[in-house]
Structure 1
Amino acid sequence: MIESTQRWLGLDPGLAKLGWAVLDPPSDKSKSLPFLVEYGTIATAKSHSTAQRLVELEQDLIALFEEFQPTRVAVEMPFFGRQIKAAGVVLQAVGIINLVCCREAKITPIFLHQSSWKAHLVNGRADKSEVAITIQNLFELEQLPNDDAVDAIAIGYAGFCGLVNNID
């Protein structure tokens, strides 16, 4: 059962761009769809070192936590296949997410596989446009957010609905 006070923060991790979305339980108890409070992206300067970008990401996440005060956090656990170079910096960003969740809000985030949150929404192999159209229709958005924010909304929604993959 979903607590009426839970505020979910969905995160699509990345170092260049991190998508985020905040969802609240519906104010009308007869509805099951959460209210999409806000969404966006955090971008870091590519001209900075990885260490500087991680500090920037940490500061921006702290500001996000202070502004929206989430009580639950859902994060996509990245899958890389053979993209080893990308894996290193994205996993460092996941570490910063873990740090900020624990230190700033005493929250242990849930990590969701991309295929599981996509299967919850459309199907496990859905492409970006299928996810985007589903999110746009589900939340009645006039304009489509960028891909990172769309994924963050979907991840937050899956967490809100109770999806858990039990990965740490």
Structure 2
Amino acid sequence: MIVLGIDPGTRTAGFGVVETSGRGGRTERALDYGSIDLPADLDHTLRLQRIYERIIELVDQHHPDEVAVEVPFLGHNVQSMRKLVRVEATVMLAAMHRQIPVAQYAPAEVKKSVTGKGRATKDQVWFMIRALLGTTDDRGRDASDALAVALAHARRTQAGPAASGGAPKDWAAFIKANPGRVR
């Protein structure tokens, strides 16, 4: 499974592409990661266009099975929050344009999946990403956060709904997951 993870930002948006293979995703590796850096003096709508174009390029290059996006945390500055939500929507639209499913994750959920702690720092996330994926070059904390988003999604998807604490998506999934409970 290949997952494109995105850590949205208005000046810097991180991206990370993770591939997992084997039963339960036993092999995990980073295929690509970095950031989309945008000039401070560039109009916000043009930043959104550049993010959209870069996400399309990444999707066309890596052919991910799914895209995972970290949802913006609730901030005090309403204008900043609005801009972050627009970036998130732009990422989702780009993925949907290529007909790729999109999942969203809260920052605490991503951090807990990778470090075991929902309030881990960016440096703790980077430390664990290096250990888990064997990445050696530091391409910024936004890039490591995006790898964490991708890895969290890949692990949750391959573990299935029971392992992640979620319910089956529909009755067919429930029956498949619980054959002994159906008469």
Q: Which interval holds the TM-score relative to the shorter structure?
A: 0.7 to 0.9
The residue number in structure 2 matching 1:40 is 34
The residue number in structure 2 matching 1:117 is 110
Identity of aligned residues (%): 24
Please tell me whether the aligned partners of residues 136 and 144 of structure 1 are also in contact (alpha carbons under 8 angstroms): no
**In the alignment, which of 10, 16, 19 is matched to residue 11 of structure 2?**
16
**In the alignment, which of 45, 60, 64 is matched to residue 51 of structure 1?**
45
Structure 1 portions without partners, runs of 5+: 1-5
- TM-score (normalizing by structure 1): 0.86
Mapped partners of 2:44, 2:66: distance in 1: 27
Mapped partners of 1:23, 1:53: distance in 2: 25
Pair 1:30–1:96, CA change in 2 (3 A): closer
Structure 2 portions without partners, runs of 5+: 158-163, 167-183
Give 1 or 2 for the bigger CA radius of gyration.
Answer: 2
- TM-score (normalizing by structure 2): 0.80
Task: Give the counterpart letter for 1:57 in structure 2.
Answer: I
Mapped partners of 1:31, 1:107: distance in 2: 20
The structure richer in helix per residue is 2
**In the alignment, which of 133, 158, 161 is matched to residue 139 of structure 1?**
133
The residue number in structure 1 matching 2:64 is 70
The residue number in structure 2 matching 1:97 is 91
Task: Give the counterpart letter for 1:120 in structure 2.
Answer: S
The residue number in structure 2 matching 1:3 is none
Please give the root-mean-square deviation of Cα atoms over the aligned residues, in Å.
2.1
The number of residue pairs the alignment matches comes to 159
Pair 1:73–1:136, CA change in 2 (3 A): same
Mapped partners of 1:15, 1:109: distance in 2: 20
The residue number in structure 1 matching 2:82 is 88
